[in-house]
Amino acid sequence: MNILIIGSGGREHAFAWKLRQSKKIDKLYIAPGNAGTAGLGHNLEIDTTDFSSIRQAVLENHVDMVLVGPEIPLVAGIHDFFLADEQLKNIPVIGPDSYGARLEGSKEFAKEFMLKNNIPTAKYLAVHRGNLDLGIKFLESMQAPYVLKADGLAAGKGVLIIENLSEAIHSLQEMLNGLFGSASSTVVIEEFLTGVECSIFVLTDGTHYKILPEAKDYKRIGEGDTGLNTGGMGAISPVPFVTSEFMRAVEERMVVPTIRGLQQEGINFKGFLFFGLMNCKGDPFLIEYNVRMGDPETEAVMMRIQSDLVGLFEGVAQGNLDEKELVIDPKTAVTVVVVAGGYPGYYEKGKIIRNLDLVEASVVFHAGTRLEGRDVLTNGGRVLAVSSLADSMDEALSLSYKNIEAIFFDKMYYRSDLGFDLK
């Protein structure tokens, strides 16, 4: 069969790498893809929300299935667009419709959903201009630090954590006045939770589900988890504190009620559910839902999935995921992200990446890269995700670090302390 992957990052390269291993794949298309995906399939120069061009490409290339990597086309309704089109409606889309995607697209919707389904989460209040006074009272009733979240998608920047009450009240007003555009016309104020975070991934056909390998990602730019937030500087799977007992609690208190809640709302959710959660002294609390796989977690998780991913996606499409087998490698997978100097602030693009051919025993997933002639050039803040699988975390990390030391581009940077908190 022919599969089209929507997206252009390390996650999409990792999906392409995994799908390419399936005997069921004829042609792989990636829109728009990057220099890494170009080696595994055909990149199509189409924007992820240009649905009419996607439609044309799907029909011209006889695409049998579409896998959506990022959240933006899901929230914008790519699945609904397919269902509403006579010629596309029978082509499965892996990823929820826009109603289901609200679990990620609206923090207020997600919190209401968690509350309705008794899923453990931080206390909250949704505030808009009409109830600002209640919002201020709610902040005054809480202890520092204060967590303010833009309701809508804000490219990962919509969460503020503020130490001081008067500053929090000021930021609340600024957010309601358009600090994050219309994404912050509603703000969710949350109680601050203390604990260690991890990412749990579930693939579902709307009724049945499979729990994929969990991962921990490293969001801060600096060593020791310091400095600005990024899209992710690396990931490790498995996560030692996710014991089978902890996972059972996640399944019983979060996964099962989420699938049941979706069914009760009449949402036929076909795709990935990503539970971003906090381990608070052994009890899981849900921080957020995403309706897609994580990046860079996918670049580690895909290395541990031994089963045919196409078979699992067919189960999602046909509603018989329970009949499919998911085999997970017990080894440890790590991915170390190499970024452009300056990221997540200003950084330059267009630097030549050298020595990719010297990499041994790791897989280099491309994130922000593009081809120019035979050169691979940097084309984003996060440039490469160097993934390794080994018997231990330390072994996997040293493989990735050894290979990164061989690779070179001007002003490259990476964190050399991944896993420091898991030892």
Positions touching ligand GLY (CB under 6 A) are 217, 232, 290, 294-295, 297
CB of 290 to ligand GLY, least distance (A): 5
Q: Which is nearer to ligand AMP, 108 or 190 (CB)?
A: 190
Q: Which is nearer to ligand AMP, 29 or 275 (CB)?
A: 275
Check: CB of residue 316 under 8 Å from CB of residue 270.
Answer: yes
Q: What is the DSSP letter of 392?
A: S
Say whether residue 276 binds ligand AMP (CB under 6 A): yes
**What would the two tokens of residue 74 be?**
């899901």
Cβ-in-10-Å burial (0-12, 13-18, 19+) of 319 comes to middle
CB of 297 to ligand GLY, least distance (A): 6
C-alpha dihedral, 328 to 335 to 310 to 264, nearest 10°: 80
Distance CA 98, CA 136 (A): 32
**Residue 192 contact, options ligand GLY, ligand AMP, none, Cβ 5-8 Å cut-off depending on partner type:** ligand AMP
Secondary structure (3-state) at 388: strand
**Residue 314 contact, options ligand AMP, ligand GLY, none, Cβ 5-8 Å cut-off depending on partner type:** none
Check: CB of residue 5 under 8 Å from CB of residue 67.
Answer: yes
Say whether residue 291 binds ligand AMP (CB under 6 A): no
Check: CB of residue 302 under 8 Å from CB of residue 326.
Answer: no
Secondary structure (3-state) at 110: helix
Say whether residue 190 binds ligand AMP (CB under 6 A): yes
Interacting positions 157-176 with ligand AMP (CB under 6 A): 159
Tell which residue, 409, 344, 352, has the closest CA to residue 377. 352
Pick from 112, 251, 288, 417: which binds ligand AMP (CB under 6 A)? 288
Stretch that binds ligand AMP, among 58-66, 94-102, 189-197, 322-330 (CB under 6 A): 189-197
Interacting positions 334-373 with ligand AMP (CB under 6 A): none
Beta strands in 351-411 (DSSP E): 363-366, 369-372, 375-378, 382-390
Say whether residue 283 binds ligand AMP (CB under 6 A): no
Pick from 110, 122, 198, 233: which binds ligand AMP (CB under 6 A)? 122
Q: Which is nearer to ligand GLY, 232 or 261 (CB)?
A: 232
Check: CB of residue 208 under 8 Å from CB of residue 321.
Answer: yes
Q: Which is nearer to ligand AMP, 63 or 122 (CB)?
A: 122
Q: Please state the length of the chain.
A: 423
Whole-angstrom distance between the N-terminal and C-terminal Cα of the chain? 43
**Residue 295 contact, options ligand AMP, ligand GLY, none, Cβ 5-8 Å cut-off depending on partner type:** ligand GLY
Say whether residue 384 binds ligand AMP (CB under 6 A): no
Cβ-in-10-Å burial (0-12, 13-18, 19+) of 286 comes to buried
**Residue 288 contact, options ligand GLY, ligand AMP, none, Cβ 5-8 Å cut-off depending on partner type:** ligand AMP
**Residue 294 contact, options ligand AMP, ligand GLY, none, Cβ 5-8 Å cut-off depending on partner type:** ligand GLY
Q: Which is nearer to ligand GLY, 93 or 198 (CB)?
A: 198
Strands 226-229 and 179-182: unpaired
Say whether residue 151 binds ligand AMP (CB under 6 A): no
Provide the binding-site residues for ligand AMP, judged by CB under 6 A.
Answer: 122, 147, 159, 190, 192-193, 197, 276, 287-288
